[in-house]
Chains A and B, each alone.
Chain A
């Protein structure tokens, strides 16, 4: 028995059920060709509702200024920048799954990469809203880009971490989009070639760019994916590193910390995977894709959650230790009085962060809990609440009681419009995700086909015979396979 691909029997199959190539196409593309379920409509309408609330909130902010958000002289960055960092963090899992795991040859990424990449793109779009509208006079946003102008010419400050952020986030968005869309081309061509309705033929003909699946095209496609993965890997790490520079390069106690870059990156992967879990546990159920997004996938991602959660935990403790070790009065104050002290006005948020991010993911040391869908869904929400509080703790507790005690009385709580803006980005995110799940294949069809004969349930069984074959005979057949 000659084999093109070979994988050890020890590994659990990544595609369950008795599948062949056609069945894979059929299963994944079916949701696109049928009418959406009632559940889809309910979710979609709720998302649109939230989006509308967001639009009204943003309108208030533009019309009356950012005072609408209860920001004041002490707290210049409140929920908005917290939300920015939170969404950007969530946007890290997609490219991590598709790029870093591609370089590490992790077969399980094929089941989840498409949805995770889409999630990344939508999360980055949501994240970008916050610094954009926080500008106040948003119609002048193009001032952040360097271009010859009539103001001097006056250039942006290239030595500023905030400008690095503009470049990092826009590059990250562009590269993620290219990566995602170039991977979509072959699958959109599959939808096009099956299409019966006229509009569908037109729409997928347009979006698949005339992809034919030629051998040379596949060769280039593979090269493109590999090099984009190689570029995106340091890019993923750089984006949250640069976001952390926004704080680390300042001289505010609590922000001025050299540990920030690795700590932020670990946190981003942590929250990103949690969001992927939230979306996929629901998606696999609603679109009946349990055989492609298996418990194995959920298990592996939960392992990453417990790993990155523990890294983040180590970072929290290191930060505390260094605050004490530095013997810097201001640093110690920021940590011990503004955060650890439960009786301080916002001290509770520090314990929310610790409880949700460090303690609760530890339950994933147990295999049974890692493979339990209800626990996974619940924990993914808890982790994202915890990660939101992490950013809130870093941003607000570092500045609400600073060097000038006379400004301490300005206790900050968000306004309804600030809350509305945040909920509005949820609306934007889920509206995009619902549309994506209706019109695009949520799993990379060609990548599943690519691993089918290696990791498919029914093919793995057949390989047991090959494992018992003498080695010389096997090698001989492999050499003649092509």
Chain B
């Protein structure tokens, strides 16, 4: 945990934000994060974030649920306390399908939500530094991290030039949720546009 300096730029339009991200990334500044009031499709690609693996986690949790139900009921009805229901087999899989399905969904949903909360560090009583109160209302807030290589005045004027309506410098303490996306981020590539 250390105190870092950030240059914060606010945008009012997604279009301007996208072109600003492109300019900022191609000129080598480090984008700490972008805060938006709603999900914007393509923003993660524009920032070079890799895809989330939350789906895979959900699948693993789901399989765990299925197996828990199957093994649990199987053990109870064949070995721990085998009951005779009208001479039907102890291992009666078709009758267990409803509970196996429900536990698959339950484990997957609960597991994914908890993983989501852990990864995003959202929980009651979590205190975070919010760079702009209107980031949850109508502003798209881009936050650049100041590194020893560049000075904040240059960054501020650069950000202003990309269409930000408001630029300021803020200091914030980095929790572990700050600045952890570095290894997630792919380098900026200049792609040639082509018509499909």
A contact residues vs B (CB 8 Å cutoff): 2, 4, 20-22, 25, 146, 152-155, 157-159, 163-164, 167-168, 170-171, 174-175, 178-179, 182, 185-186, 189-190, 192-194, 206-207, 209-224, 227-228, 231-232, 234-235, 238, 242, 245, 446-447, 449-450, 453, 472, 475-476, 479-482
B3, CB-defined interface residue at 8 Å: no
Which one of B90-98, B153-161, B162-170 is at the interface?
B90-98
A415 to B37, CA, bound (A): 53
Q: Are B99 and A167 in contact (CB under 8 A)?
A: yes
Residues in A whose Cβ lies below 8 Å from that of B106: 170-171, 174-175
B121 (CB) vs chain A CBs: closest residue = A210
Q: Are B81 and A155 in contact (CB under 8 A)?
A: yes
Q: Are B103 and A167 in contact (CB under 8 A)?
A: yes
Q: Are B98 and A164 in contact (CB under 8 A)?
A: yes
- The answer to whether A216 and B95 touch (CB under 8 A), given A193-B134, A234-B101, is no
- Distance in angstroms from B93 CB to nearest chain A CB is 11
Question: Could you say which of B46, B96, B109, B124 contacts A231, with CB atoms under 8 Å apart?
Answer: B109
Q: Are B38 and A447 in contact (CB under 8 A)?
A: yes
- The answer to whether A153 and B80 touch (CB under 8 A), given A158-B99, A182-B113, A207-B124, is yes
A322 to B91, CA, bound (A): 33
Q: List B7-55 residues whose CB lies under 8 Å from chain A.
A: 14-15, 18, 22, 33-47, 49, 51-52, 54-55
Question: Could you say which of A217, A242, A453 contacts B120, with CB atoms under 8 Å apart?
Answer: A217
Residues in B whose Cβ lies below 8 Å from that of A154: 81
Question: Could you say which of A22, A164, A167, A222 contacts B39, with CB atoms under 8 Å apart?
Answer: A222
B171, CB-defined interface residue at 8 Å: no
Residues in B whose Cβ lies below 8 Å from that of A193: 130, 133-137
Residues in B whose Cβ lies below 8 Å from that of A449: 37-38
Can you name 22 A-B residue pairings with CB atoms under 8 Å? A22-B137, A25-B37, A155-B80, A157-B83, A158-B73, A159-B88, A168-B102, A170-B106, A178-B109, A190-B137, A193-B134, A193-B135, A194-B137, A218-B36, A219-B52, A220-B54, A224-B54, A227-B58, A232-B105, A235-B105, A446-B39, A482-B18
Residues in B whose Cβ lies below 8 Å from that of A158: 73, 76-77, 95-96, 99
- The answer to whether A472 and B42 touch (CB under 8 A), given A193-B137, A209-B117, is no
The count of residues in chain B whose C-beta lies closer than 8 Å to any C-beta of chain A is 75
- The answer to whether A167 and B102 touch (CB under 8 A), given A25-B137, A215-B33, A227-B58, is yes
A105 to B84, CA, bound (A): 48
Most chain B beta carbons < 10 A, residue from A175, A207, A224: A224
Residues in A whose Cβ lies below 8 Å from that of B40: 4, 218
- Distance in angstroms from A154 CB to nearest chain B CB is 7
- Distance in angstroms from B88 CB to nearest chain A CB is 8
Residues in B whose Cβ lies below 8 Å from that of A450: 38-39
- Distance in angstroms from A228 CB to nearest chain B CB is 6
Q: Are A221 and B116 in contact (CB under 8 A)?
A: yes
B128, CB-defined interface residue at 8 Å: yes
Interface of B is mostly: helix
- Distance in angstroms from A163 CB to nearest chain B CB is 7
B45 (CB) vs chain A CBs: closest residue = A482
Residues in A whose Cβ lies below 8 Å from that of B128: 210, 212
Question: Could you say which of A171, A185, A447, A481 contacts B18, with CB atoms under 8 Å apart?
Answer: A481
Q: Are A446 and B38 in contact (CB under 8 A)?
A: yes
- Distance in angstroms from B71 CB to nearest chain A CB is 12
- Distance in angstroms from A443 CB to nearest chain B CB is 13
Residues in B whose Cβ lies below 8 Å from that of A212: 35, 128, 130, 135
A148 (CB) vs chain B CBs: closest residue = B80
A216 to B179, CA, bound (A): 12
Residues in A whose Cβ lies below 8 Å from that of B119: 220
Question: Could you say which of B15, B52, B196 contacts A220, with CB atoms under 8 Å apart?
Answer: B52
B1, CB-defined interface residue at 8 Å: no
Q: Given contacts A153-B81, A178-B113, A194-B133, could you give 4 more A-B pairs where the C-beta distance is less than 8 Å?
A: A22-B137, A215-B35, A218-B39, A453-B14
Residues in B whose Cβ lies below 8 Å from that of A170: 106
- Distance in angstroms from A225 CB to nearest chain B CB is 9
Q: Are B109 and A174 in contact (CB under 8 A)?
A: yes
Q: Are B109 and A175 in contact (CB under 8 A)?
A: yes
Question: Could you say which of B34, B43, B46, B138 contacts A22, with CB atoms under 8 Å apart?
Answer: B138
A214 to B33, CA, bound (A): 6
B81 (CB) vs chain A CBs: closest residue = A155
A232 to B138, CA, bound (A): 31
Residues in A whose Cβ lies below 8 Å from that of B38: 186, 218, 446-447, 449-450
Q: Are A21 and B137 in contact (CB under 8 A)?
A: yes
A171 to B80, CA, bound (A): 26
Q: List B168-196 residues whose CB lies under 8 Å from chain A.
A: 181, 184, 193-196
A212 to B102, CA, bound (A): 33
Question: Could you say which of B49, B101, B105, B193 contacts A215, with CB atoms under 8 Å apart?
Answer: B49
- Distance in angstroms from B118 CB to nearest chain A CB is 11
Q: Are B34 and A475 in contact (CB under 8 A)?
A: no
A174 to B80, CA, bound (A): 29
Question: Could you say which of A206, A242, A482 contacts B46, with CB atoms under 8 Å apart?
Answer: A482
Q: Are B72 and A146 in contact (CB under 8 A)?
A: yes
Residues in B whose Cβ lies below 8 Å from that of A222: 39
- Distance in angstroms from A465 CB to nearest chain B CB is 15
A36 to B94, CA, bound (A): 53
A159 (CB) vs chain B CBs: closest residue = B95
B67, CB-defined interface residue at 8 Å: no
Residues in A whose Cβ lies below 8 Å from that of B181: 216
A168 (CB) vs chain B CBs: closest residue = B102
- The answer to whether A227 and B112 touch (CB under 8 A), given A159-B85, A168-B102, A220-B119, is yes
Q: Are B122 and A209 in contact (CB under 8 A)?
A: yes
- The answer to whether A446 and B105 touch (CB under 8 A), given A210-B126, A211-B122, is no
